[in-house]
A = this chain, B = another copy of it.
Amino acid sequence: MEEVLYFNELYDLYNGLLTDKQREYFEDYYFNNLSFSEMAENYEVSRNAIFKQIHIVTDKLKEYESILKLHEKRKKLEEIVKNIDNSELKIALEELI
């Protein structure tokens, strides 16, 4: 479950770098909660092909994070913002999250 949340957060940051097809697979599986079997039927491919594609997409997301570290930086910024009292500054920083 924790991994699902993590992938969702990575997807939020990096989905623009994926192909349309990769976004479709990811959203079907992680957002729409379709099973591999259901997706295999919809896309008319084997369950194994779906399984592989989902892995390719999550590997891509992890690769982007290992290069750009946007998730790590976002978490740090959120932590910093949480402890700020000045509301004007807080809002300005929140816009960057």
> Copy number of this protein in the oligomer?
2
Chain B CB within 8 A of A55 CB = no
Q: Which of B17, B67, B80, B89 contacts A92 (CB 8 A)?
A: B80
Is A96's CB under 8 angstroms from B68's CB? Answer: no
For chain A, give the interface size range: 10 to 19
Is B84's CB under 8 angstroms from A89's CB? Answer: yes
Q: Which residues of B lie under 8 Å from residue A77 when comparing CB positions? A: 93, 96
Is B89's CB under 8 angstroms from A80's CB? Answer: yes
Is B67's CB under 8 angstroms from A80's CB? Answer: no
Bound state CA distance, A16 and B66, in angstroms? 10
Residues from 35 to 87 in A contacting B, C-beta threshold 8 Å: 64, 67-68, 70, 73, 76-77, 80, 84
